[in-house]
Structure 1
Amino acid sequence: MTDIATKPDSIIAVERWNTFWGARDLEGMKTVAADDFIQWHATVRKNLTKDEEFDMLVEALKVMQITFKNICLTPMNNDTVLQQCVADIAIEGAGTRNDVPFAMVFHTRGQKITKCEEYMDGMSLPPIEFTPQD
């Protein structure tokens, strides 16, 4: 494990984000998300603003449990971090899927996340009805 004094700010930001997510601490996640934060979801194929993303997460966590595991963080150029992992996803009334592969590309500025691009096979999951609609 890399000593925190030598970790890039980008890795520190993503590790903090993941810690807050693991604790279901949305207020903590908001402190890591920059004011101009954007979330791109492969399942809905659109960008969500910070407010839209956190409003959606409040609703999602009422019926869904996602646990990310086997997380591998790879620092890239331009303060970007690639996260590869798998997730166990349980959606109330719709079932459970285990070991769903995920990739996230986090863009950072200092120790804040400015954008998260989330990639996964949304077709492998039951329909989810709490995402923003056009």
Structure 2
Amino acid sequence: VRTALEPRATALAAARATAADLDELDDLAGRMLAVGGPGPGQDLDALVALNRRFHARLLEIADTPALASALAGVVHAPVVLRTFHTYDAASLARSLAHHAEIVAALRAGDGGWASAVMVSHIANARAVMTGDRR
């Protein structure tokens, strides 16, 4: 369900994002990189909160209440909360890079690119959940 809904909302956000929206998303992505990288400064609890805000902000920008409601009530929060602490270093690095690339796609106004990165982002999360990290 998430794969069907969130990429669509991300593509819609690409057409609606203002410069201020993009700056906010870029800031969130940068803060996620700062607290999500491996090492003694890693703070996965802070990363979870920032990640939740990043995805929520994308939905706000997309301005699609039906999609936001479906994701919030059925899929988004339970999926993110269950998986984030189980990422290995490579999966976490991919996830963090996806956030930055989503912002780049939004800055370019390219909904197709933004949607494709979100599909990859969700596939990465699914691989973590299922243990299929080949």
TM-score class, shorter-chain normalisation, is 0.3 to 0.5
User: Structure 1 length normalisation: TM-score?
Assistant: 0.38
Using structure 2 for the length normalisation, give the TM-score. 0.38
Larger Rg, first or second structure (1 or 2): 1
Higher relative contact order (CA 8 A, sep 6+): 2
Greater fraction of residues in helix: 2
